[in-house]
Amino acid sequence: MDNVIRRRTPGARLARAALYAVLIVMALFYLLPLLIMLLTSIKPLDEIGAGTLLALPEHPTLAPWVNAWGEACTGMRCEGVGGYFWNSFAIVIPAVAISTVVGALNGYALTKWRFRGSELVFALMLFGCFIPFQVVLLPMAQTLGWLGLSSSRAGLVLVHVVFGIAFTTLFFRNFYVAVPSELVSAAKLDGAGFFRIFWRILLPVSAPIIVVSVIWQFTQIWNDFLFGVAFSAHDTQPVTVALNNLVNTSTGVKEYNVNMAAAMIAALPTLVVYVLAGKYFVRGLTAGSVKG
């Protein structure tokens, strides 16, 4: 038996090495656009025109990054993305927090405190996940006008919370289905109420799905362009709108290095989130997939 294992070991090692080689090649191929963006963002314009996409910069410079972060407006030319970068954070943080909390409470109520019509409520919220965003632009604009939130950061927060609740409710509902209902029933017999049960029993085991909700909502809201361009004014626009304005300015010269630097700045938060918490995202998605 030992001889058989020894004979198979080199082949198994070779197969593993081949698998890792394929994965590394695919990863490098996937990261190639990011490498091109990074190289272009530190090249002077004359090198971009004279060289190739993958050519290393002969005279690397951070001037495009400085210009992308904060250029002054001249005529139709818009400023950099620096101020709008913080606008996006001012929109994302409260929207993610509110939609996650409300989604957790909804998922808890729909699984452990069932009421008459709860399945219909969940079906309607699930249906909301499939409504195209373009369909609700006009009704949402009218609603924001009635509430006095047009062209404001608070209005954008409200829009993202409304659309995010359907997804976060789905996440938490599917996760809480796997939590034994006997725990909730025992807590009810001991006199615990709705919020006490949620705080002491459900919330402590919710870390995986909270991570999923936060990553999902952060990515969706940070990368949103449609709502940002439709429901914001110049001083409340998110970074995606500012990036579009910067790239589409008409000055006669396309500053590809500045555009790439601005795109890297706009993408940096989501890259950091996925690098730091990507593995927890997968764990959280599968945590409630099997009951018991």
pLDDT of residue 71: 52
Size of the chain in residues: 292
Q: Are residues 269 and 217 in the same domain?
A: yes
Task: Tell me what the mean pLDDT of segment 40-50 comes to.
Answer: 86
Q: Are residues 38 and 99 in the same domain?
A: no
Q: Are residues 56 and 201 in the same domain?
A: no
Kindly report, residue by residue over 118-176, the tens digit of the pLDDT.
Answer: 888 888 888 878 888 888 889 999 999 999 998 899 999 999 999 999 999 999 998 99
pLDDT of residue 130: 84
Q: Are residues 227 and 124 in the same domain?
A: yes
Rounded Cα distance, 234 and 236, in Å: 6
The answer to whether residue 238 is domain-embedded is: yes
66 vs 12, more confident: 66
The answer to whether residue 71 is domain-embedded is: no
pLDDT of residue 4: 46
Q: List Cα–Cα distances, 254 to 82, 193, 208, 232, 260, in angstroms.
A: 20, 62, 45, 26, 11
The answer to whether residue 70 is domain-embedded is: no
pLDDT of residue 288: 53
Kindly report, residue by residue over 228-256, the tens digit of the pLDDT.
Answer: 999 988 888 999 998 888 887 656 677 88
Task: Tell me what the mean pLDDT of segment 262-285 comes to.
Answer: 81
Q: Are residues 40 and 152 in the same domain?
A: no
CATH of the domain at 283: 1.10.3720.10
Q: In this prediction, what percent of the chain has a pLDDT beyond 90?
A: 32
Residue bearing tokens 């989130």:
273
Mean pLDDT of the chain: 84
Contact 68, 265 (CB under 8 A): yes
Q: Are residues 154 and 28 in the same domain?
A: no
State how many domains the chain has: 2
Residue 178 buriedness (CB in 10 A; 0-12 / 13-18 / 19+): middle
* pLDDT band with cut points at 50, 70 and 90 for residue 96: very high
pTM for this prediction: 0.83
- Short-list 179, 176, 165, 177, CA closest to 126: 165
pLDDT of residue 73: 45
Task: Tell me what the mean pLDDT of segment 217-235 comes to.
Answer: 91
Q: Are residues 118 and 262 in the same domain?
A: yes
For 8, the domain range is: 2-61
Task: Tell me what the mean pLDDT of segment 259-263 comes to.
Answer: 91
Task: Tell me what the mean pLDDT of segment 51-75 comes to.
Answer: 77
Residue 146 buriedness (CB in 10 A; 0-12 / 13-18 / 19+): exposed
Least confident of 16-25, 90-99, 213-222, 243-252: 243-252
Q: Are residues 221 and 267 in the same domain?
A: yes
Q: Are residues 128 and 264 in the same domain?
A: yes
